[in-house]
A and B are shown apart, each in its own frame.
Chain A
């Protein structure tokens, strides 16, 4: 068994040359997503597997007006489903993107050396931020009525038929203009800092020295302060305002925990794929062990936040708060109940048991399975945050999974492209040797 003093090989530049097979796989993922989306749309138009009493009623009445109304309703349900699932998957992938930068920033501020080997993966995750951000803004502008109850006409005007006193009380915060300004600000801050840290890192590759490192630490520290605020606020805006009557003071942390553990799982999964394709020569079981510890720990952290939010609401049992869990546990004829328990099993039970031992964290196959489970589980967690508030009883899975696969394929193409732009090993990082010699 080699000790840390036995490495004499210096870290060297490694360039990723994405194989044609990988590109084909990404296109296949997108293709599968499109096929599922089309199947889902057709199924939804034909009412496969639905016992929609509204349809029967419309057929019984057979009045033209009634029929047309039912028809336009169906269109809007389908449209709503597509908008909501675009929003859902996009938020999930934007979260993973920004967590790449956050992870790297934390490592900088902590003067951590071990993680330098995965730094380029963190940088590459940020590739989704700008396309995803633009899409998010477009989605809000065109689809806000399908996503947010508070955007409805007259809901904040006294005397209107739609007037809602509680929503009107939030009028100072939830207005179209202010919301858009906030949204653009969060995304711009994230994208600018992601770009800046990446730029410093590439300059370091070219010129060496420690000045870029110190500059990166300052940049990272400022980013973390800003992210602490913007991550919470984006969670309120993008997700919590869907259930506009309801609020939870834990929500910012809850969304952050979900994003954070997904981001670490994505980093690990990409590292495993690169390792298995013969790249990242210096990455070894010790690095995977540490990433595994983080996934294990933050899966528990997510559960802690989840439970803290759940238990207080369950115990206090205030109607305006408990409605959130009523909808998810047995509401809408119990259609969300299984997801509620599924999330707990896949996001807590499975990683907790699978990653508990030291050996499991050092084996790529187990890590791979757990990473995939965590990513699926947290996508499903966001599903449960968004769907009951937007789709009520009209949720489904085929369209949603199809759209998620399209996002996944596009995300992977962009991330791979960014990975291939620079050396996979940041050779001039002052701590690269420490990372190469890392032992747990």
Chain B
């Protein structure tokens, strides 16, 4: 599946660093349990993990990485409120003022009849708002070239990325630490615009 050219080979640290260039130590793991243990141990050793990439969501990884709870639900609430407000405004304006009609002997502004549309538009606004927000903050919007640390993380490998300093001075210790914790390989990679 993966061609050798795509597997991340160690990159020389020689080129002058620009501010948009980041260096990573990549621990490649074959198994999610090994990864979870490694995350705990690496963090316990005082190393800050930049991120973990996996082919599918790993249960418990958020807690292991110490990631804070997402604030997306708060955004969702406001998107929902916008949808509800828009739906009520639309129906009240259309049926109450712009073109009032008597339907079924009900008042022009008959709130029980507005509930289904209000519900649907609330859901519509919430879903779309959440998806757009999530894709934007995760940088998953369409781009010409999507930066990927190691493409095997979309197939069958789990990738732990640790940010290195400009001289990559911690690389030997990190290699040892990751190896000790079950990494099948440890690579170094330089990314621009990541």
Contact = CB atoms under 8 A, between A and B. Distances in A.
Given A3-B63, A4-B60, A314 B36 contact: no
B112 A314 contact: yes
A4 B64 CA distance: 10
Interface in B105-119: 105-106, 112-113, 115-116
Contacts of A3: 36, 40, 60-61, 63-64
B112 A310 contact: yes
A315 interface: yes
B37 A311 contact: no
B104 A5 contact: no
Interface residues of A, number: 15
Interface string B165-186: 0000000000000000000000
Interface string A300-344: 000000010011001111000000000000000000000000000
Contacts of A316: 104
Contacts of A1: 63-64, 66
A317 B36 contact: no
A5 B112 contact: no
B115 A5 contact: no
Contacts of B155: none
A8 interface: no
Nearest to A4: B60
Contacts of B113: 311, 315
Nearest to A310: B112
A1 B59 CA distance: 13
B104 A439 contact: no
A61 interface: no
A5 B36 contact: yes
B69 interface: yes
Nearest to B61: A3
Contacts of B40: 3
Interface of A: 1-5, 307, 310-311, 314-317, 357-358, 439
Given A311-B112, A311-B115, 5 more contacts: A5-B33, A315-B106, A317-B104, A358-B69, A439-B63
11 contacts: A2-B63, A3-B40, A4-B60, A5-B36, A311-B113, A315-B106, A315-B112, A317-B104, A358-B73, A439-B59, A439-B60
Per CB-CB distance, the 3 closest pairs between chain A and chain B, nearest first, are A3-B60, A1-B63, A4-B60
